[in-house]
């Protein structure tokens, strides 16, 4: 089992640096949001996971073309949370 609190600590430090250094719709921010969402998903905190995965998706949709593979990954991450929640309608 992973050390989720340590993972979150370091991902959040990374995010703070990126928020200061990068424009608000930079794909690097999307990656950080996705990483944090993944930790929350692994912890079973699905509402927090969705919050961060949706931030990732919002940036990815603005920053990249609609056929970019990273966009598919963003949608997949959100679907994975709903799957873990057994909410198959989403």
Residue 90 lies in a domain: no
Range of the domain at 40: 4-18+26-84
Which residues are CB-neighbours of 17 under 8 A, at least 6 positions away?
none
Arithmetic mean of pLDDT, 10-28: 97
Looking at the structure of the chain, the number of domains it has is: 1
pLDDT tens, 20-71?
999 999 999 999 999 999 999 999 999 999 999 999 999 999 999 999 999 9
Which residues are CB-neighbours of 68 under 8 A, at least 6 positions away?
60
Domain with residue 76: its CATH number is: 1.25.40.10
Residue 11 lies in a domain: yes
Residue 35 lies in a domain: yes
């Amino acid at each position: 089992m992973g050390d989720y609190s340590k993972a979150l600590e370091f991902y959040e430090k990374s995010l703070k640096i990126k928020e200061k250094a990068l424009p608000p719709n930079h794909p690097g921010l999307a990656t950080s949001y996705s990483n944090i969402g993944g930790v929350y998903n692994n912890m079973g905190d699905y509402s927090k996971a969705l919050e961060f995965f949706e931030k990732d998706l919002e940036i990815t949709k603005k920053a990249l073309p609609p056929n970019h593979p990273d966009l598919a990954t963003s949608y997949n991450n959100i679907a994975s949370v709903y799957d873990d929640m057994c909410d198959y309608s989403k």
